[in-house]
A and B are shown apart, each in its own frame.
Chain A
């Protein structure tokens, strides 16, 4: 690997020595059309950012490329008040907004082109997530705080909306590749063009990695070995991080109509630090996500009306390619009596459970924007959603055999328990209809009041109404002040409502949605043409948190609306264009969240974060980008016996050479250049945390990148 990294550096140095030959743009064009960002908007390459009265950030494809991001998580980690933690399951991201942390992270709504990719099973993006690459992304819009009045369910702690590139933005053909540490290889091809009024775009991206090799020194099986005298644990060993991903998207646009079709296939995904926090290097998951959406957008439908309509379908799956070994061969599993003795003896093949889930989601909605009433902008919308887990399958080698009524032989073949009461989850469906209205009232020259409310009816848990209100004051020519109030709800997942045949966790079909109330005060100030500052303070109350509470039997836990958390804090961000070639971005966030039931600090989310990025175009066609991300003061659960987890700072460097031989572009991407031992917290367990030394993140890595556009 070291040889590979040296080769990349040498190659890059060689190319840097080759003479610069960039075609120069007429300066008069910039004087007439504006700078690159405006020309992109004016020529339809990118869309202007919506001026939603919310605390929002937008990262464009240009920013993404400059910072050397490889995955959306690399982008999201740069946002103030948002931290990307990791789950032991697949090292899946946990997007922690303002101290709101949970294991499956259903409190964050992720949209692709305004369509949710939420799964019904856990309310997250699927257990087989394995990341999302960035080449097809035009921009990512991030709203901190609640947005249920517009977006509905799960726009709770925050909303992440990923907008993909249009044909105009791609413009021609680009082919590219990337290779480096951990046997990582990426390749992509994108093409955009038009035939008359028909615009078309296609992007295909492939990704493979063996995953980083930082070791997990002790796991759940290590703990069981100590109790039962077995020697089954695979720790210490690396998390299972192998990934083979394929992403493809096609867009066709004809006048006001856009059709998009896409897929994200995850083939051969490792499960990270184990589904049960016991290492399992051999399991491989397959996950498939397919989407199609048809859109009609006409901002000038009539003099006073703009109209948008959208119909979409989204299919997802969680499939097991190679057996999911919850506990390794030779384990007794966690099936112990009160004296710590195994109930079922040794499982020579390990404890195996292969749960598979297949989902379908259909949506249709229409939105109208009415401008005909003096001093008002009124938006109304309505929609319908149907989602179902249409198939669940499970094979396993523990528990009861539904066909014999006896215990399954631990040494015998796997038993298919699909379509029996012993399957982990029954097939189920959910319908949702909604209507919303929002009015932006310009009641005085520099004042506007946004009021909105959305009513949702769900077939399984009933009705919910979520309002929001925002008062915006343009205090000076360079200062805007916003005061915001919003409410949100988070729909219970099917696992929380219907989990069964699980010795530890049981669902509850009488759950209510989680709710959130949030207050924010935000200031945008532009003291100079080249400096923008944003500051906000916030407080929130998170109620009816769904938690698995011990039953009276003492052996199992059932989902209940039990918890309550409050929090407050601030975020500050500055963007400074020091010169035409030197740009600096910095932000910091502080929050204090409290588990109200225990009157203790809430666990796992950083109380302080800081981020700093410098982009320097040090020569024509050469740029250097360095960024540092500090994560500080993460509390343990108050019952967790471990000492506080260490803070960390990750520093990345990207060197880029554009317009080489006209159309080539080269880059060197160095991640975690100081090889910091950075870790994300694992959950507390009973009687002890099962992975006590937390989840190590990747150490130093190096990748080389090449693009060719024609």
Chain B
């Protein structure tokens, strides 16, 4: 290590010698732990329970399983459930496959397994909100990551407004609020009771918003109908408001961008989670929003806003519409 890289005298070293030792220790520890986890996984059976879905949604699950397979080295069994599949059917498969751990994808499968009183550990995925205490990854996009994507595209945005009736994900929104505050910007959260109140609140926000303010349309309880979306799009166009959402359909309609899960990498994260759970590690946080996100951008809207998307930024955009 000695003498390979000379740090400038005037600048402190980016990593101290002690830090380097710590880093090396961490690196080898991680290597050893991962090897142990992999060795443990090698001898274990994973059952992935995923729902039947018509194409193209079936590809979402296929990609997630592909990601899981890249991390999990043991035997993987697949159980595709349909609307006919009942508890008895799943129990029969559990008895024949005798898995050491289960990855349940989709709300119905997670709920069904929760009712089955089984001792096999379960990890959950491909679900928005998890009513059980199963650890896993939500398909709700991580608000901090969404804010990072926003500022990447529109660095001059100082204020972002969001309307929500969420309860489960409120904590994540507050994390995003802190993230923005750390950068001298603000995320203003308007909490409402229902969709009607949300529509009115969005219209109020858009009429008060200034150029380059952001309005974030969340999926779920506060999703707005097409008529309100039409008004928001027109208002955003007229006032140069940065309108964005978590539903890629909206990008086609004219919002600046939307994020959506990167299924393969989300699957990899689920695979890592499965390995941890199998090793008996405590998984914290137990159910977190997906951080592996793709970005879809409406270039027509970005040009209207006069945003300068460098080649570097554009190479990070997964879909330009």
- Residues on A lying within 8 angstroms of B by beta carbon are 21-26, 28-36, 38-45, 48, 51, 168, 171, 299-300, 302-305, 371-372, 374, 442, 445-446, 448, 474, 476-478, 480, 528-530, 659, 662
Contact = CB atoms under 8 A, between A and B. Distances in A.
Contact of A446 (B56, B220, B303, B310): B303
A35 B303 contact: no
B288 to A, nearest CB: 15
B127 interface: yes
Contact of B234 (A21, A25, A477): A477
Interface stretch (B31-39, B92-100, B145-153, B252-260): B252-260
A41 B319 contact: yes
A385 B306 CA distance: 41
Contact of A445 (B63, B254, B303, B318): B303
B303 A300 contact: no
B8 interface: no
B294 A303 contact: no
B206 to A, nearest CB: 13
CB-based closest 3 A-B pairs: A477-B237, A304-B311, A23-B52
A105 to B, nearest CB: 34
A39 B56 contact: yes
Interface string B152-187: 000000000000000000000000000000000000
Interface in B209-255: 219-220, 223, 226, 229-230, 233-234, 236-238, 246-249, 252-254
Contacts of A33: 57, 60, 248, 260-261
Contact of B84 (A21, A31, A171, A371): A21
Nearest to B109: A26
Contact of A26 (B107, B140, B219, B238): B107
B154 to A, nearest CB: 14
Contacts of B252: 38
A23 B59 contact: no
A168 B108 contact: no
Interface string B288-321: 0000001010011001111010111011001111
A659 B84 CA distance: 14
A21 B82 CA distance: 9
Contacts of A445: 303-306
A474 B304 contact: yes
Q: Is the interface of A mostly helix, strand, loop or mixed?
A: loop
A413 B310 CA distance: 73
B315 A477 contact: no
Contacts of B247: 31-32, 34
Interface residues of B, number: 64
A153 B209 CA distance: 52
10 contacts: A24-B83, A28-B107, A36-B57, A171-B55, A445-B304, A445-B306, A477-B238, A478-B233, A478-B234, A659-B54
A375 to B, nearest CB: 8
Given A43-B263, A303-B311, 13 more contacts: A26-B108, A31-B220, A32-B141, A34-B258, A38-B249, A42-B318, A42-B319, A171-B55, A371-B314, A445-B303, A477-B234, A477-B236, A478-B254
Nearest to A530: B226
A303 B311 CA distance: 5
A258 B107 CA distance: 37
Contacts of B318: 42
Nearest to B321: A48
Chain B contact residues: over half helix, strand or loop, or mixed?
mixed
A298 to B, nearest CB: 10
Given A33-B248, A372-B311, A445-B304, A25 B319 contact: no
Contacts of B308: 374
Output the residue of A21, A23, A304, A371 with the most chain B CB within 10 A: A23
A48 B320 contact: yes
Contacts of B258: 34
A300 B223 CA distance: 34
A317 to B, nearest CB: 37
B139 A28 contact: yes
Contacts of B246: 32
Contacts of A51: 299
B249 A29 contact: no
B106 interface: yes
B53 interface: yes
Contacts of A442: 303
Contact of B59 (A31, A39, A299, A448): A39
A374 B309 CA distance: 9
B300 A42 contact: no
A21 B51 contact: no
Contacts of B57: 25, 29-30, 33, 36, 39
Contacts of B319: 41-42, 48
Contacts of A530: 226
Contact of B294 (A42, A446, A478, A480): A42
Interface string B87-129: 0000000000000000000111000000000000000001110
Interface in B261-305: 261, 263, 294, 296, 299-300, 303-305
Contacts of A478: 233-234, 254
Contacts of B133: none
B304 A42 contact: no
Contacts of B223: 31
Of B126, B261, B311, chain A has the most CB atoms within 10 Å of the CB of B311
A474 B310 CA distance: 21
A603 B171 CA distance: 71
Nearest to B315: A300
B62 interface: yes
Contacts of B140: 32
B207 interface: no
Contacts of A302: 311
A21 B247 CA distance: 28
Contact of B249 (A34, A43, A45): A34
A29 B219 CA distance: 11
B58 interface: yes
Contacts of A36: 56-57
Contacts of A304: 311-312
A40 B56 contact: yes
A84 B308 CA distance: 45
A304 B316 CA distance: 11
B275 to A, nearest CB: 20
Interface in B67-99: 82-84
Nearest to A23: B52
A168 B306 contact: no
B249 A35 contact: yes
Contact of A171 (B58, B139, B226, B303): B58
B54 A39 contact: no
Contacts of B106: 26
B84 A45 contact: no
Contacts of B55: 45, 171
A51 B246 CA distance: 23
Contacts of B311: 302-305, 371-372
A5 B259 CA distance: 50
Contact of B229 (A28, A371, A529): A529
B146 to A, nearest CB: 13
A28 B128 contact: yes
Contacts of B248: 33-34, 38, 42
B63 A43 contact: yes
